[in-house]
Structure 1
Amino acid sequence: MTTKADMIKKHTEMVEKLKRADDLHRFSHDLEGSLSEDEKKANLVFVKLREEIANNETLNQTIHNYFEYKDRLQASKFYAILDKMPKGGVHHIHSLAAHCLDVFIDITKDDRVYFSDKFKKFKVFTKAEFVEEGYQRCNDMRKFFSDPQHFDDKLRESLVLNEKTVYNSSSSEIWKSFQTFFDQFANVTKFATFTRRLIRNLFESLIKQNVLVVEIRHTPGMYYDDDMKHLSFKEEMTMIHEVILELQKSHPHFRAKVILCGMKMLGNQHIEKIFAEINQFMTGADEQLKQLITGFDLVDEEDFSPQIQEFAKSLIANQKLTIVSCGKEQNTGIQFMLHSGETHDRNYRNLHDAIAIGTKRIGHGFQLFLFPELVKEVKERQICVEVCPLSNHLLGHTRDLRSHPLSYLINQGVQISISSDDPGYFGYEGVTLDYIYAAGAWMLDLQDIKKISLNGLNFSTVSSEDKLELLKVFNQKWNEWIKLILELPN
């Protein structure tokens, strides 16, 4: 005869069996048996610190008003410890949208920077004869304010998304406001002297947060020098490469790559032009410079721009471009890292095209959960999804990060990395804050965070030799970080 105790025992066993079966699917499960005793102890501290800022029974600061809680989160013990954590790589960050606000404001103090109140645009004029009608030097405008700091404060407000826009607008309305930043400052950010400074600042902010590999999204063209002469494609790439080499003198383990971007709104002709420039560049550049470019992407707001399908012919024709160098055919190794699924609309099928074309990583992938067959493909092909938690929140794709689709997909074994997309226009630097929000909203533990950090390296486009070298560096830094956690006062 079956007793009540037998039924309860059977129920308990079934629950445990189901839980174990589910755990086998989680994206970080492969690390479970490899965690050291010190890591297991550190995890207890890690979870305790996480719950100080993200406790669903009291207050989870990562799911409430970003503008109200950002500073508090950045001042937390959890932020301080995650900031020191080694991070394998950042896969998704735009070269001219990741600057420190103070750096940009400082740039406007250069006498070559002007502003037009009529056009609401900043421009650089390197010589007096170049100045266009309606533009005033920013430094002269500062003189009209009783306190120049007031000018800078107003400028600071105009450089970032604000609370009213984020929480009282639709996603498309937020995007329109967001796009004005790029339009307003494009001319200034593309002046080579300032471009170099902004990209260096981007790299420095991530190095400071212990990131080993950075892969920047970069749209080529329209950069210019002191004589207002446009830089060639090679000059542009050389400029970025020189910044990297300068930083590697003091940070020898730092690696950076460029993922070139074509703008969908500019059509196929624009995309083909970039591919032609890549091909020409790869034919004539030296080997070290060639290795800088490792990927290609298509950008623009997904809901209001042409679909990837319209560019499929160009993408397929130029996949892994083959060039002739020294009489021999060489494959450039350009891979696709396509923005896709940054939308709620199930009728958009960019993800289907991206995966069919052979994208190696997916930018955002917010919409992926709608398509079970694609989830299966992503797992089988080991495609990493570049998740940008704060970007998805602030651009209106999810109001509550607990409901972010990737928080479900990681339980099904989808691999992710964490990036920050456009932090300069969101009011912060680097990527640590994105880790904070992901950990707090998705209740990530140390095993999960380690897996994400390793994914940043393992799914990067650096050479296999570099990966082996950097993995040793990562492991050493990780062990030092674990020791740091264990030494924290109770």
Structure 2
Amino acid sequence: MFIRGNLTLFTDQDPEVAFPSQDVVWDRFEQAFRAVWGLVTYAPVFRDYYYQGLTQFYTDNVMYLELRALLPEVYELDGSTHDRAWTLKTYQDITTQFVSKHPDFFGARIIITNQRRANRSAIAEAVEEAMKLKKDFPDFLAGFDLVGREDRGKPLWYFRDALSLPAEKGVTLPYFFHAGETDLEGTEVDQNLLDALLLNTSRIGHGFALVRHPVAKYLSRKKGVAVEVCPISNQVLKLVKDLRNHPAAALMLENHPVVISSDDPAMFGASGLSYDFYEAFVGFGGITSHIGSLKQLAINSIRYSSLPPQQQKEALVLWQKRWNMFVTESEFLKTN
């Protein structure tokens, strides 16, 4: 229990007492990441850790995964370290190995990330490296994002010169920006949603504040930019207490593009994606939710993925077979 308590947000206390504010829970959240960092960046553990992660998602009936990753320097016991290209290649090799053993798993792609608390020069270097990696791994590297607590980090506009480098150099580097993961209004980071769209983000991570920005909401819907909603994360990190009050409920009613994501399931005691799908199903849709709601959310995961159109079609064919099997074999559906 002691080890688990230091590597996750689990607590024996009432969570409302243990984590009375966003500052407290975010500090604990980041401490847990620091605690686990040295364990999972040891090369043999790193490989097993990722393979086990794929296994858990596959067991949870996830057939395709887009993973945000910091691409750490992975170390060996002799003190040597591997660079980020090695780390990305290892992700690719293990994904290929996993697919070969599980042919009904469609695969995975990586969105490489950097911390939004970094300075301009560090992000410029990260974007330059991401452009090179995109060239070297065109079918496996999905794009780039900035992560970390938005309310304490720098706004996207602060990094505008670095984030404009791909367009200036004529290089395609898709963005998948975290934006609007805040319940504050009128701050610099509250403008991240508009800036993410101006920088042509492919999706919006969290987008909790989107309903407060009519222009951003209109633009994201018009451009087909989906919001990645992470119900458990938003609840645990104290953006919303009762999921019936989550802004995503209104977005879904308006038929705004929405996909359900699990953020950091291991930190929250969840597994794969089903926990978040369940909370979205009962929390956002209420008593009007039905099997069609789940079907649409699942289809959205493919439709708004980074896969090129032909691969999306192939993934949808594979998914449809799995869906038909689910509907046919579901004991709940047989009795309702």
Alignment counterpart, residue 109 of structure 2, candidates 257, 266, 283: 257
Q: Which residue of 2 aligns with 1:33?
A: none
1:292-303 map, 5 Å: 292-303=140-151
Following the alignment from structure 1 to structure 2, what is the Cα–Cα distance between the partners of residues 229 and 461? 34
Identity %, equivalent residues: 25
Match for residue 247 of structure 1 among 88, 91, 98:
98
Map of 1:363 onto structure 2: 205
Spell out the pairing of 1:13-162 with structure 2 (5 A cutoff). 153-162=1-10
Q: Higher relative contact order by CA 8 Å / sep ≥ 6: 1 or 2?
A: 1
**AA of the residue aligned to 1:386:** E
1:33-65 deviation per Cα after TM superposition (whole angstroms, max 9, x unaligned): xxxxxxxxxxxxxxxxxxxxxxxxxxxxxxxxx
The alignment's TM-score, normalised by the length of structure 2, stands at 0.91
| 1:345 and 2:191 correspond | no
| Paired residues for 1:128-207 under 5 Å | 153-163=1-11, 164=13, 166-168=15-17, 169-207=20-58
CA 1:282/1:391 → structure 2, altered by over 3 Å: closer, same or farther?
A: closer
Check whether the contact 1:233–1:277 (CA below 8 A) recurs between aligned residues: no
TM-score (norm 1): 0.64
| 1:213–1:460 contact (8 Å) kept in structure 2 | no
* Whole-Å separation in 2 of the counterparts to 1:358 and 1:209: 32
Whether the aligned pair in 1 keeps the contact of 2:95 and 2:108 (CA below 8 Å) is yes
One-letter amino acid of the counterpart of residue 317, structure 2: K
8 Å contact from structure 2 (residues 232, 279) kept in 1: yes
Q: Tell me the residue number matched to 1:272.
A: 124
Corresponding residue for residue 461 of structure 1: 306
Local SS of the residue matching 2:330: helix
Q: Check 1:409–1:279 CA distance in 2 against 1; reply closer, same or farther (3 A cut).
A: closer
1:215 to 58, 66, 69: 66
CA positional deviation for 1:227: 2.3
Matched residue type, 1:468: K
* 1:483 counterpart residue number: 328
The equivalent position to 1:291 in structure 2, one of 139, 142, 166, is: 139
Distance 2:169 2:113 in 1: 16
The match for 1:304 among 132, 141, 152 is: 152
Asked whether the equivalents of residues 166 and 395 of structure 1 are also in contact (C-alpha less than 8 Å), the reply is: no
Cα distance in 1 between the residues matched to 2:173 and 2:168:
5
Deviation string, structure 1 residues 335-370 (Cα, Å, up to 9, x no partner): 110000000112121111111111110000001111
Q: Secondary structure of the residue that 1:467 maps to in structure 2?
A: helix
Kept after mapping to 1: 8 A contact 2:133/2:141: no
Cα RMSD between the aligned structures? 1.8
Task: Tell me the distance in 1 between the aligned counterparts of 2:259 and 2:240.
Answer: 18
Letter in 1 for 2:9: L
- Structure 2: gaps of 5 or more residues: none
CA contact (8 A) 1:165 1:174 kept: no
Q: What amino acid maps onto 1:476 in structure 2?
A: K
The CA distance in 1 between the partners of 2:220 and 2:278, in whole Å, is 26
- 1:192-228 superposed Cα distances (whole Å, 9 cap, x missing partner): 2111111111111111111121000011233222322
Would the aligned equivalents of 2:10 and 2:269 in 1 still touch at CA under 8 Å? no
Deviations 1:439-479 (A, max 9, x none): 11122321111111001011111222221111111111111
For the 8 Å contact 1:298–1:338, the answer to whether it is kept is yes
Contact 2:303 2:312 (8 Å CA) reproduced: yes
How many pairs were matched up? 325
Residue 320 to residue 470, structure 1, CA distance change in 2 (3 Å)? farther
Task: Tell me which amino acid in the other structure corresponds to 1:273.
Answer: E
Counterparts in 2 of 1:395 and 1:165: CA distance versus 1, 3 Å: farther
Amino acid of the structure 2 residue aligned with 1:298: L
Secondary structure class of the residue paired with 2:118 = helix
Stretches of structure 1 lacking an aligned partner (at least 5 in a row): 1-152, 323-330
- The CA distance in 2 between the partners of 1:412 and 1:468, in whole Å, is 26
1:489 Cα deviation from its structure 2 partner = 4.8
Aligned residue for 1:445?
290
Verify the 8 A CA contact 1:279 1:321 in the aligned structure 2.
no
Select 2:239's aligned residue among 397, 401, 406. Answer: 397
Secondary structure of the residue aligned to 1:216 is strand
The residue correspondences of 1:294-333 to structure 2 (distance < 5 A) are 294-319=142-167, 322=170, 331=171, 333=172
Distance 2:53 2:227 in 1: 22
Q: In 1, distance between residues paired with 2:127 and 2:312?
A: 27
Corresponding residue for 2:77?
226
Alpha-carbon distance in structure 2 between the residues aligned to 1:403 and 1:282: 39
CA distance in 2, matches of 1:340, 1:276: 22
Partner of 1:142: none
SS in 2 for 1:353: helix
Distance 2:134 2:335 in 1: 54
Give the Å deviation of 1:282.
4.7
Supply the distance in 2 between the matched residues of 1:165 and 1:171 (Cα, whole angstroms): 15
Question: 1:321 offset after TM fit, Å?
Answer: 6.1
